Structure 1
Amino acid sequence: MTVGLAVTLGLSGCAPVPDAALEDVVPAEPAMPPVYEVVSLPAATVHVVTIPDPVRYPVQVAVVDELARVDQIASQLCGAGECVTAALNAGFFDPNNGLTTSYVVKDGALVADPNQNERLIGNPDLASYMDKILNRSEFRRYDCGGTPSYDITFHQDPVPTGCTLVDAVGAGPQLLPQDTSVEEGFVDRTARRDALGSQSPNARSAVGLKADGSVVMVMVAQVPGVSPSGMTMGEVAAFMGDRGVTQALNLDGGSSSTLMYVGTTHYGRLNNSGELVQRPVKSILWVENLPLQ
């Protein structure tokens, strides 16, 4: 159509429009909003939100002083959460004192520091694992010359040259491209220790990255009347890998697993009576409903 426009202008006696000028008026590709789907399996219901355009729909971090449900945190971001398309529970925390057990960075500032949680740092049973606990994997959002970029890496890994760290939230272990449970100190197969219950079916939350740049949020919900119910971490990794995810990070799961999409909140964990557990959390990953221009 632009070539036809140039020819028409030339025939009407006006100077032809240079090709470069025509390129300036060609509209940008439309933003691709997040896509939500539900996958029903025999022992799990998997809620998936894919963000195919995380440059214009950036995945952000939010953290609260007092523990709150995911939908409550979203409502603090804007009236009744109306600006939030999707939100997923994120980092680890201590439910006894409401303090974080993983690092959280928001807008370039450290806003939650596990070193300030004495129940964590001062626990003698964790002393031999503390270096690994404080170097847990995290989901990161960078600003690389004005363009958002994402990664899943260990906390102590450096920020890429030319980029600044905008948001980060720690959890773990990594699920893809490989399971880092042993490296992060959560699993000791010799001692039969599995602190996060990685090998037992449960409600799960995870975030992943595809090779095309898409960000994927996953929340695994248990199924009423089915026992055992949910997924192991290995099953979550396989599910995400089958959907093209190349990097994946396990987030806080079990009773914390919660995903909100367009005002509807989905919970993952069932109690012994088969009722959904609505647990307050410390931090979330969220996506705004209006794209950046």
Structure 2
Amino acid sequence: MRKIWLLGLTLVSLGIVLWLSMRSFPPSIPTVVTVAASPPKPMRYEQRTLSQGIANILFIPANNQFFVTPALSQKVDTVEEFAQKHRAIAIFNAGFFDPANQKSTSYVVIQGQLVADPKENDRLVNNPNLKPYLNQIFNRTEFRRYQCGQTVRYDIALHNDSPPAACQLVDAIGAGPKLLPELTLVKEGFVDNANKRDALGSNQPNARTAIGITRDGNIVLVMVAQKPSLGANSGISLPVLADLMKTLGVEKAMNLDGGSSSSLYYKGKTFYGKVDLNGNPIKRRVKSVLLVQ
């Protein structure tokens, strides 16, 4: 009996030691932290009143919820007509074209296919006054969309620039001149002050359209309309437009076709940039646009 009593006492002592050991060193329990996914940022439109114009600004977040792609008309269409065809959220006029023959004077690439080639525009190629500028006309700045693996990237580059490594050019549309990081008025706008040449009226206020990319990859589209109260001498110059884009956080930007081509469709409403002598908006058909879908 004494041996049994001593054995029981020993087992009780061991149990107490084990219990105290577990109290001192509790088992590690993994902690599960649930992080709520951030909702995608929405597209944002705002209108700003400038000293000589009205800026219509569309901010498109870089979350792949929206895509910015070019579209080309067989002839020419208003942005409203483009909207009916493509059912886009927003549409901005884009590349240069010749109203006389309704052919593009800008390169347009859609889904990897070249759909507009300025070298095929006879009125452009055979114009003796433009012959000294053709090499640069065929290498103007363009807005691009790349597919880099599973990632979509946008860029602003010269036509002859190669895509980044591991990236494929999906879409592109040309215009110019570049606004940021530098303003290429002489190189791409062919401004020649000595001979009083400035085909785009770069330093004069006018209706203008531009596109830019921020450091974070957001897209900013801007259409500056003339003020009806100020008439045809209002709007914005290209140097001031470059400054405006910079204030919007844009690092790379380019000018699109302007003047009476400047137009914007957004959620069922259309804005035209150019006004006539009575301050009424001028509706002009264009060859190419940028769609926001």
TM-score, with length taken from structure 1:
0.86
Counterpart residue number, 1:177: 181
Find the aligned partners of 1:158 and 1:214 in 2 and give their Cα distance. Answer: 22
Structure 1 residue 190: Cα displacement: 2.0
Counterpart residue number, 2:72: 63
Find the aligned partners of 1:27 and 1:263 in 2 and give their Cα distance. Answer: 34
Counterpart residue number, 1:222: 226
Counterpart residue number, 2:57: 48
CA contact (8 A) 2:263 2:272 kept: yes
Counterpart residue number, 2:127: 123
CA contact (8 A) 1:114 1:120 kept: yes
Distance 1:67 1:162, change over 3 A: same
- What do you get for the CA RMSD once the two structures are aligned? 1.6
Tell me the secondary structure at the aligned position of residue 66 of structure 2: coil
Give every structure 1 segment of 4 or more consecutive aligned residues whose post-TM-superposition deviation is greater than 6 Å: none
Counterpart residue number, 1:187: 191
TM-score, with length taken from structure 2:
0.86
Find the aligned partners of 2:139 and 2:292 in 1 and give their Cα distance. Answer: 26
Aligned residue among 90, 95, 98 for 1:94: 98
Counterpart residue number, 2:169: 165
Structure 1 residue 17: Cα displacement: 8.8
**What are the within-5 Å matches in structure 2 for residues 198-209 of structure 1?**
198-209=202-213
Find the aligned partners of 2:36 and 2:98 in 1 and give their Cα distance. Answer: 49
**What are the within-5 Å matches in structure 2 for residues 197-276 of structure 1?**
197-227=201-231, 228-276=233-281
Distance 1:121 1:95, change over 3 A: same
Matched letter for residue 229 of structure 1:
S
Structure 1 residue 242: Cα displacement: 1.1
Counterpart residue number, 2:284: 279
Counterpart residue number, 1:108: 112
CA contact (8 A) 1:61 1:285 kept: yes
Distance 1:195 1:159, change over 3 A: same
> Can you give the 5+ residue segments of structure 2 that lack an aligned partner in the other structure?
1-28
Q: Which string of whole-angstrom CA distances, capped at 9 and with x for unpartnered residues, describes residues 119-177 of structure 1?
A: 00111111111001111100000001121101111100111110000110000000111
Asked if 1:74 is matched to 2:74, the reply is no
Whose radius of gyration is greater, 1 or 2?
2
Find the aligned partners of 2:150 and 2:201 in 1 and give their Cα distance. Answer: 40
CA contact (8 A) 1:105 1:166 kept: yes
Find the aligned partners of 1:165 and 1:18 in 2 and give their Cα distance. Answer: 45
Structure 1 residue 28: Cα displacement: 4.3
Counterpart residue number, 2:16: none
CA contact (8 A) 2:96 2:175 kept: yes
CA contact (8 A) 1:188 1:194 kept: yes
> Can you give the 5+ residue segments of structure 1 that lack an aligned partner in the other structure?
1-15, 289-293
Find the aligned partners of 1:130 and 1:54 in 2 and give their Cα distance. Answer: 38
Q: Which string of whole-angstrom CA distances, capped at 9 and with x for unpartnered residues, describes residues 1-47 of structure 1?
A: xxxxxxxxxxxxxxx9996xx87xx6643222210000012311100
CA contact (8 A) 2:43 2:60 kept: yes
Q: Which string of whole-angstrom CA distances, capped at 9 and with x for unpartnered residues, describes residues 69-126 of structure 1?
A: 012112111xxx3xx2211000000011110001000001001111111000111111
Find the aligned partners of 2:68 and 2:172 in 1 and give their Cα distance. Answer: 10
Counterpart residue number, 2:147: 143
Structure 1 residue 56: Cα displacement: 2.2
